[in-house]
Amino acid sequence: MIRVILTDIEGTTSSISFVHDVLFPYARKHLPGFVRAHYQDDPAVREQLDMVAANAGLERHDIEGLIETLQEWIRDDRKETPLKALQGMVWEQGYQQGELKGHIYPDAADCLQRWHDRGLRLFVYSSGSVKAQKLIFGFTTAGDFTPCFSGYFDTRIGGKKEVESYRNILNELGVEASTVLFLSDVEAELDAAEAAGMKSAWLVREGELPETSRFVARDFEEVDTLLRKR
């Protein structure tokens, strides 16, 4: 029986276009100024920049080089942990100032609330940092959904296509793998979750439905139907 839902964000609870056409351009525009303003006095920013420097083989004082690398990573949609941490810090300003509102599909909003009310435990696993996850769900156009969630995981637990990441999440949750249903729009992530023993559902919100033996859902209402059958 499913007792825990672990959900991806982009393409699952929220649209790909919100992430790529709103969040990433916002980060591209504001990240250079944010880094220049904070690299000297904010240890959390400095820590992430040092990780970028180590990863890119740059000198830690080469701030303009580090900014250029971060901009390239945003362009290439690289899921690098320090980039994701810095994006979360930049987006925080946008949400706080009312420039950003998190997108959530209406079916996801309804079902997350219902599942929470039915006693299911809900967790997020996204490449976006935990801070970014709390912001997107805290400031949605449909209100604050953070009370629905019991916890959040990001790439610090491991990459989303790696089996070990899901094993680590199971260790943290302390539950039987077969009681966890992972929701994602990326098949390789579902493969990794299943290899760790979790159940999975593939969200295919647009385009043709794939021919597959996997459970496929157009939206969260179809996932809910599956949950009620199990």
Ligand X SMILES: CSCCC(=O)C(=O)COP(=O)(O)O
**Is 10 among the residues that bind ligand X (CB under 6 A)?**
yes
* Segment interacting with ligand X, rule: CB under 6 A, options 29-37, 66-74, 127-135, 175-183: 127-135
Binding mask 165-204 vs Mg ion (x if CB under 5 A, - otherwise)?
A: --------------------x-------------------
Cα–Cα distance for residue pair 101/94, rounded to 1 Å: 9
- Total of chain residues touching ligand X, rule CB under 6 A: 14
Q: Which of 74, 20, 3, 85 is nearest to 47 (CA)?
A: 85
Q: How far is the CB of 84 from ligand X (least distance, A)?
A: 6
Determine the Cα–Cα distance for residues 11 and 84; give it in Å rounded to an integer: 17
Q: Does 15 bind ligand X (CB under 6 A)?
A: no
Q: Which helix (H) or strand (E) holds 147?
A: none
Asked if 6 touches ligand X (CB under 6 A), the answer is no
Handedness of CA 28, 51, 12, 224 (dihedral sign): negative
Report how far residue 153's alpha carbon sits from residue 150's, in angstroms, rounded to the nearest whole number. Answer: 11
Out of 4, 5, 6, 8, the residue judged to bind ligand X by CB under 6 A: 8
Phi, psi of 122 (to 5 degrees): -110, 135
69 binds ligand X, rule: CB under 6 A: no
Chain residues in the site for ligand X (CB under 6 A) = 8-10, 19, 23, 79, 84, 126-128, 132-133, 136, 160
